[in-house]
Amino acid sequence: MGGAEKGEEKKADEVDAVELVADVGVLKQVLDGRWMTVRDRARAFDLDEYDPPAYELSTEEHRARVLLRLKELAASGLPQIGFPEASGGQNDVGGGMVAIEMMGYRDLSLMVKAGVQWGLFGGAITALGTEQHHARYLRPAIDLELLGCFAMTESGHGSDVQALRTTATYLPDTQEFEVDTLDPTARKEYIGNAARDGRLAVVFAQLITAQGEHGVHALMVPIRDELGQPTPGVTIADAGRKAGLNGVDNGRLSFDHVRVPRTALLDRYGHVAADGSYTSPIDSPNRRFFTMLGTLVRGRVSVAGAALSATKLAQTIAVRRALQRRQFDRPGGEGEVVLLDYQSHQRRLLPDLATTYALNFAQEELTGTLHDLWTADGERDEHAQRELEARAAGLKAIATWHATGTIQACREACGGAGYMAENVLPQLKADTDVFTTFEGDNTVLLQLVGKGLLTGYRQEFEDLDTIGTVRFVAENAVGVAIERTAARNVIQRLTAGRRAGDGHLRDRAWHLTMLEDREKHLVETLAARLRVRSKQLDDPFRVFNTTQAHLLTAARAHVDRTVLEAFLAAIDRCPDPETTALLDKLCDLYVLSLLERDRGWYLEHNRMTDRRAKDITRAVDELCFALRPHVATLVDAFAIPGEWITAPIAQGDSIS
Amino acid sequence: MGGAEKGEEKKADEVDAVELVADVGVLKQVLDGRWMTVRDRARAFDLDEYDPPAYELSTEEHRARVLLRLKELAASGLPQIGFPEASGGQNDVGGGMVAIEMMGYRDLSLMVKAGVQWGLFGGAITALGTEQHHARYLRPAIDLELLGCFAMTESGHGSDVQALRTTATYLPDTQEFEVDTLDPTARKEYIGNAARDGRLAVVFAQLITAQGEHGVHALMVPIRDELGQPTPGVTIADAGRKAGLNGVDNGRLSFDHVRVPRTALLDRYGHVAADGSYTSPIDSPNRRFFTMLGTLVRGRVSVAGAALSATKLAQTIAVRRALQRRQFDRPGGEGEVVLLDYQSHQRRLLPDLATTYALNFAQEELTGTLHDLWTADGERDEHAQRELEARAAGLKAIATWHATGTIQACREACGGAGYMAENVLPQLKADTDVFTTFEGDNTVLLQLVGKGLLTGYRQEFEDLDTIGTVRFVAENAVGVAIERTAARNVIQRLTAGRRAGDGHLRDRAWHLTMLEDREKHLVETLAARLRVRSKQLDDPFRVFNTTQAHLLTAARAHVDRTVLEAFLAAIDRCPDPETTALLDKLCDLYVLSLLERDRGWYLEHNRMTDRRAKDITRAVDELCFALRPHVATLVDAFAIPGEWITAPIAQGDSIS
């Protein structure tokens, strides 16, 4: 106890230097992936610069500027590509999403306003409407002749969309719906484009006919007339100043006996005939609800993508600062020490950088999955859609928390300079902060992931709320099987060849086993606990509630494992050996940082010895030292155009 | 592996309900501590409210408002009490600090501007000046007739103050100093009060006489004339918009052959006679430097205090929201579930709340120590001053990181509502963000703490930079002794009586042993590593650098232990048995959360069995459930006046 442990000292300074010349171009290509062309088009799109900078503007001035930029973006043709060909698009769903995510580098208010207009408003019309809606609304929505809102969240209900209280009651006499805000909890809240620019809103409301209630449906409701005044019965309030994203005009909407024609119902999944009779291609109200909600998946993927764009910009700034800034003399008269040469500074920036790479690859894979599923001919595979939703939920949660934590670390790593508005980090922090709770609160989303793990994304999924899941698990023998997301042959290739020495810290097969085993154990013990407690306790809420933290941990373990697999698949795609070697080392840092973070769990479950836990900590230190010479290359490969990096502390190329 | 572990289920739902009626008034009294009267005076001080709210203002409007508020604060008589009686104060150093920290509840820009004016500017004149400076400057500084700056940080040197590059050269012919900014890295940066209001600056510069260089000293330099124009040779630039604290006018100062009279030197620790001969009561230049820098300790304590004020306000808002907001139906038709009834929400808010209590008590104790040391008659005890500096550095680092993390968690716990400016959390986040890096970067401060642990705050301390510490430790047998901060009899009373059952999770003696043992082991192994590596490596920087993360962990472990002791001392002071019982349970949550967080370390060092680690996690869950009914009481005891809590989501009393 009195001295350092035996045997560890000899390894302590073994900095396993990587003498590689990795190719920035190749790295960029691997990062950019399938939509590299769209990304390059977005990089070349020359958004006008305005004076003064956004952080000097009042809310109204900022909103006006972002609307101008939105028009520039529309004129670029980029947002269009995701729409159906019949509406002038290219049906490139993934490309349309990527184009909007790329705006996360430039102006997050613009990205979010674009997401509201084309992703949510345009996306809802595309997915929930039928041909007449497409023909009437899509082109003007794409070209910005018609600015719209996506009015789902209410002041009383954000996460629990199924419990929304706005009503749309069919009146057969006039063939109209009457839309009503029954009480203040039913007021539509935080609605983008509502405070200033929106003309028409997709309003989510409980549909009521003479037959009864049919659950949540969406209707097109005009909220402003040609002169910009609220339409009769519509009350619009400004949501006011926010922590960030003040270029987006969020507002509140209330409806008092507002009449819209029968055709206003987006009726792909629920139709009301002239006589008021209701029909739907989906019998189960729950399944119908979740199918309609499935359109939200695109928004979640886009938020994760924009969060990663913002994170990359923050990391580029912090790394360039850390490569230029010196503080405290190095003994021996060699001048002052560069910040990034300090172990604490490496620890602060490098594991996060490895994680950004990992999440980039997972995001790229997820976009591809969504694109393929949504552009496939024939009926959509429901199991695949459920799995997509769960993966999007999980990645959105992990990527946005990563953004919040990493941008904060970058801000602190830049000291006082990081607090200055001109150095961009404050805006990135403030704008991305809401990402962890909008488009689905992260905690609620991880619960969704956990539910999927317990039920295997099966058909019954849609009929199960959280309590239903508890009952399902309690009553069924749930078998947990880890489905690998990357092709099995890729993993075999990467795990078989490499450093297969027994128990080597960089043995890839061991990494995968550790993450898979953790996920499997967490899900199995969760299922077992739910069964046991269901027998002990009468109250299913208490059964759920005493295992909620366990459920969230299981969900996170699942996401971590799928992200590692995406990293492995990306390494496999890399065409250049030296670049592959660098990615390989970066992947080691990613996975060993995870194991270090969770070593309490591994140790208490006898998955790791105390000796091995200490070795992992040392290996993370050593990998940071070894990767230090390559950090400039790693951020340069994000290929953020120089003129987009306006922070004075990050001017010039990276200097290693 | 397939099922849940045996034996754990029976305990899982054992919610050990606390049926206590704790007294909010008693809790408040224990929290408020020695300066309760000053705190109550600050609570009663009726700062004018202005329209519109600060977040709607431009930078210039915001600055003007904060100056108005500063004048109101001066008129209240509160800031004065900390100054010497000869200058119209009451020599109540602790009370003066507490009064300023309380402004952290109201307006953090005001708190920081007050800290610059009275704490830094007034404090430097008091501590570094002699009678003529006190007589001439203190009253106008106190009464705001003279607004001043504390010009220390330079664009090239923030943390490494000893390497500042501004020069003050004595010219015997005219008996003047010439102050110069030699190059852009010597420009004074982020200086509060510089951009708009300051007239005079305390400028830190390398003092040069014909005899040579004497190290960093402070001089009074006029920067603006009566008309508010920069004085000849002084260039003032505006630092511009920041992430937060935009009511404080930070600026940059450069000096070009600026002449000031010989009397401008604050000469308590270094005097220049008319003929240019230099004398100092402290021979060692290093010791002189650290003695002058010792005046900074007050600023650090105040920042920690203000960070805790902001944290308490954020927790009050988030808890009130969590007690009112409902989401998702509870099965059985009992309506929707209150957010704070969810395990994940309790986990998100309650351990942080326990930590805020712990840090409150540590802060209160530290303020008392500073007050007693600074108001004691006779020469100041240097060892005690060194220890005070280390404790202030450690608590500042831990309290400000706690603020950043906790306010973020509160923001997320409030969902979209937490992102709205009117709900105050965005401003708290933005304003407190810089606390982790100003008044000493937290990482640098923790290094200082680590250094103190290695050298035992001994006399040599001042002569040791970090590398010097490495050499010192390498060459001396460093014995590590844990000095308990709280009176030994208090700890014995609290640990002896209570639940002494062998290995009980709530055994207080076991808690203390765990934290002490961790600290001792980390410091001992650190010293051993430094010795071993000094023999292996020629380069002392590499010796230091490969152990930097270890050093920081040791420092944090030390702070955690002293904070626990402060919590115990506070429990001992509590006059009411039921309130004591509540504090006792809250302290359990604090310490078990620490053990849970660091269980990886305890497991890998064989300080904890795997069974015990799992029991701790379950105990944290159970304590959250048990404390749930008392959360409203716990935030109400912060006694933040109702009209200071302007967030609409936190209106009304807490509802449990």
Radius of gyration for the alpha carbons in chain A, expressed in angstroms and rounded: 26
Average pLDDT over residues A162-173: 96
Q: Which residues contact A112 (CB under 8 A, 6 or more apart)?
A: A192, A245, A248, A306, A431
Q: Are residues A415 and A539 in the same domain?
A: no
ipTM field:
0.94
* A420 belongs to a structural domain: yes
| R_g of chain B computed on alpha carbons | 26
Question: Do residues B426 and B447 share a domain?
Answer: no
Confidence of residue A218 (pLDDT cuts 50, 70, 90): very high
Distance from CA of A570 to the nearest CA of B (A): 31
CB of B283 closer than 8 Å to CB of B463: no
For tokens 């949540």, what's the residue?
A: A216
**DSSP type of residue A654:** -
- A vs B, Cβ pairs < 8 A, gives 247
pLDDT at B486: 62
A162: closest chain B residue by CA: B328
E strand map for A37-187: 148-151, 167-171, 176-180
Residue B638 identity (one-letter amino acid): F
Helix (H, G, I), strand (E, B) or coil at A89: coil
Any A CB within 8 A of B174 CB:
no
Closest-CA residue to A550 (of B51, B527, B618): B618
| Nearest residue of chain A to residue B415 (CA atoms) | A437
Amino acid symbol at B248: V
Q: Indicate whether B351 and B391 sit together in one domain.
A: yes
Task: Tell if the CB–CB gap between B12 and A548 is shorter than 8 Å.
Answer: no
**Structural contact between residues A161 and A204, judged by C-beta atoms closer than 8 angstroms:** yes
How big is the CA angle at A445 (ends A440 and A450), to the nearest 5 degrees? 170
Q: Residue A243 carries which DSSP code?
A: S
Distance from CA of B155 to the nearest CA of A (A): 9
Interchain CB contact of A481 with B (< 8 Å):
no
Does the pLDDT value for residue A10 go beyond 50? Answer: no
Angle at A362 between CA A356 and CA A366, to 5 degrees: 140
Q: Are B122 and B83 in contact (CB under 8 A)?
A: yes
Q: Which of A551, A571, A591 is the endpoint of a domain? A: A571
Together in a domain, A287 and A154:
yes
Task: Give the mean model confidence (pLDDT) for residues A320-333.
Answer: 84
Residues of A within 8 A of B341 (CB-CB) are: 545
How do beta strands B167-171 and B200-209 pair? Answer: parallel
Query: Domain containing A178 — which CATH number?
Result: 2.40.110.10
Residues of B in contact with A430 (CB under 8 A): 243, 426, 430
Chain A: closest CA distance from residue B132 (Å): 35
d(CA B208, CA A220): 76
Mean pLDDT in residue range A600-619: 96
Interface of B with A in 389-408 (CB under 8 A): 404, 408
Q: What is the pLDDT, as a whole number, of residue A478?
A: 64
Strand-pair partners of A258? A179
CB contact under 8 Å between A13 and B416, yes or no, is: no
Strand partners, B604: none
Buried b (16+ CB within 10 A) or exposed e, B250-272: bbbbbbeebebebbbbbbbbbeb
Provide the 8-state DSSP code for A330.
P
Is B513 an 8 Å CB contact of chain A?
Answer: no
Catalytic residue (one of B154, B189, B387, B439): B439
**Looking at chain A, how many residues does it have?**
656
Residues 331-370 of B with CB under 8 A from A: 331-332, 336-337, 341-344, 347
Q: Kindly list the averaged pLDDT for each block of 10 residues, start to end, along chain B of length 656.
A: 37 46 92 97 86 94 97 93 93 95 94 96 96 97 97 89 94 98 95 98 98 97 96 97 98 98 97 97 89 88 97 98 87 82 97 98 97 90 89 97 98 97 98 95 94 74 64 71 68 64 80 95 93 87 92 97 96 94 97 98 96 96 96 96 94 56
In terms of C-beta density within 10 A (0-12 exposed, 13-18 middle, 19 or more buried), how is residue B6 classed? exposed
Q: Can you give the pLDDT at residue B498?
A: 58
- The average confidence (pLDDT) of chain A is 90
Alpha-carbon gap, residue A532 to A616, rounded angstroms: 36
Q: Is the domain of B305 the same as that of B189?
A: no
Q: Is B256 on the interface with A (CB under 8 A)?
A: no
Answer positive or negative: Cα dihedral of B415, B417, B418, B421: positive
Polymer length in residues for chain B: 656
Structure confidence at residue A16 (pLDDT) = 47
Predicted confidence (pLDDT) at residue A465 exceeds the cutoff of 80 = no
Query: Is residue A314 one of the residues assigned to a domain?
Result: yes
Structure tokens at A371: 């694109």
Residue B151, beta-bridge partner list: B203
Q: What is the Cα–Cα distance from B526 to B382, expressed in whole angstroms?
A: 26
Shared-domain flag, residues A286 and A382: no
Residues A314 and A447 in one domain: no
| Chain B residue whose CA is closest to A535 | B9
Helix (H) or strand (E) holding A254: strand A251-255
Closest to A479 measured CA to CA, from A456, A512, A450, A449: A456
Q: How far apart are CA B13 and CA A539, in angstroms?
A: 12
Co-location of A374 and A421 in the same domain:
yes
Q: Do A537 and B13 touch (CB under 8 A)?
A: yes
Residue B404 to residue A404, Cβ atoms within 8 A: no
* Residue corresponding to tokens 């998100």: B348
Dump pLDDT digits (tens) for A422-449.
Answer: 999 999 999 999 999 998 999 999 999 9
Q: Collect all residues of chain A within an 8 Å Cβ-Cβ radius of residue B342.
A: 545, 548
Tell me if residue B205 falls in helix, strand or coil: strand
Q: Which of B343, B525, B552 sits opposite A546 (nearest CB)?
A: B343
Per-residue pLDDT tens over the stretch B3-12: 333 333 333 3
Confidence of residue A148 (pLDDT cuts 50, 70, 90): very high
- Whether A3 is in a domain gets the answer no
Question: Cα dihedral sign for B79, B81, B82, B84?
Answer: positive
pLDDT value at residue A481? 65
Does residue A634 sit within a domain? Answer: no
Domain boundary among B539, B571, B603: B571
Whether A567 is in a domain gets the answer yes
- Asked if A242 reaches chain B (Cβ–Cβ under 8 Å), the answer is yes
Contact B542 A613 (CB under 8 A): no
Q: Tokens representing B346?
A: 């309790």
| Residue that terminates a domain, selected from A549, A571, A593 | A571
| B166 contact partners, CB below 8 Å, separation of at least 6 | B154, B179, B180, B181, B182, B186, B188, B203, B204, B205, B206, B255
* Contact of A253 with A205, CB cutoff 8 Å: no
pLDDT at B275: 97
Tell me: do A462 and A546 sit in the same domain.
yes
> Is the residue at A467 inside a domain?
yes
Tokens of B123: 């404090």
Using the CB atoms, write b or e for B467-500: b if 16+ within 10 Å.
bbbbbbbbeeebebebeebbeeebbeebbeeeee
Q: Residue A11 pLDDT more than 60?
A: no
Measured CA to CA, the distance from residue A243 to residue A375 in angstroms comes to 37
Quickly list DSSP for B212-274.
EEEEEEEEEEE-B-TTSPBPTTEEEEE---BSS-TTS--EEEEESSEEEEGGGB--SS-EE-T
Considering the domain architecture, whether residues B445 and B388 belong to the same structural domain is answered as no
Total tally of structural domains belonging to chain B: 3
Q: What is the pLDDT of residue A499?
A: 53
Q: Please report the sign of the dihedral spanned by the C-alpha atoms of residue A211, residue A213, residue A217, residue A222.
A: positive
Phi, psi of B300 (to 5 degrees): -65, -40
Q: DSSP secondary-structure letter at A85?
A: G
Query: What is the DSSP-derived secondary structure letter of residue A154?
Result: B
Query: How far is Cα A453 from Cα A266, in angstroms, rounded to an integer?
Result: 32
Residue B139 makes CB contacts below 8 A (sequence gap 6+) with B87, B88, B145
| pLDDT for residue A183 is more than 70 | yes
Q: Which residues of B touch A9 (CB under 8 A)?
A: 529, 532-533, 536
Average pLDDT of span A506-525: 94
* C-alpha pair distances (Å), A600 with each of A503, A581, B344: 19, 30, 20
| Three-class secondary structure of residue B462 per DSSP | helix
User: What's the CATH code of the domain at B385?
Assistant: 1.20.140.10
User: Which chain A residue's Cα is nearest to B437?
Assistant: A415
Smallest Cα distance from A409 to chain B, Å: 11
Q: CA-CA distance, A339 to A328, in Å (whole number)?
A: 9
Interface test with A, best of B324, B420, B624 (most A CBs within 10 A): B420
Give the pLDDT score at B367: 97
Q: Which residues contact A6 (CB under 8 A, 6 or more apart)?
A: none
* Interchain proximity A610–B604, CB inside 8 Å: yes
The two structure tokens encoding residue B322: 């969590």
The predicted structure's pLDDT at residue B487: 61
Cβ(A249)–Cβ(A192) under 8 Å?
yes
Question: Are residues B343 and A549, on separate chains, in Cβ contact within 8 Å?
Answer: yes
Query: Counting Cβ atoms within 10 Å, is residue A298 exposed (0-12), middle (13-18) or buried (19+)?
Result: buried
- A58:B59 CB<8 A: no
Both A370 and A282 in one domain: the answer is no
Nearest CA in chain B to A620: B549
Q: What percent of chain A has pLDDT over 70?
A: 91
The answer to whether position A245 is within a domain reads: yes
Structural domain span for residue A379: 297-327+335-430
Let me know if residue B177 belongs to a domain.
yes
- Inter-chain residue contact A536 with B9, CB threshold 8 Å: yes
CB contact under 8 A, A408 and B404: yes
The answer to whether residues A295 and A243 touch, using CB atoms and an 8 Å cutoff, is no
Question: What is the model's pLDDT at position A129?
Answer: 97
Dist CA A49 CA B313 (whole Å): 39
Would strands B326-329 and B258-261 be described as parallel, antiparallel, or unpaired?
unpaired
CB contact under 8 A, B9 and A467: no
Which amino acid does the sequence have at B450? G
Classify B169 as helix, strand or coil: strand
Q: State the Cα–Cα distance between residues A25 and A570, nearest whole angstrom.
A: 15
Q: In a 3-state reduction of DSSP, which class is residue B534?
A: helix
Chain A, window 105-144: residues with a beta carbon less than 8 angstroms from a chain B beta carbon: none
Measured distance CA(B179)–CA(B219) in Å, rounded: 9
What is the 3-class SS of B259-271, one letter each residue?
EEEHHHECCCCCE
- Say whether both B216 and B301 belong to one domain: no
Q: What is the pLDDT of residue A68?
A: 96
Determine contact: B605 vs chain A, CB below 8 A. Answer: yes
Residue of B nearest to A157 (CA): B327
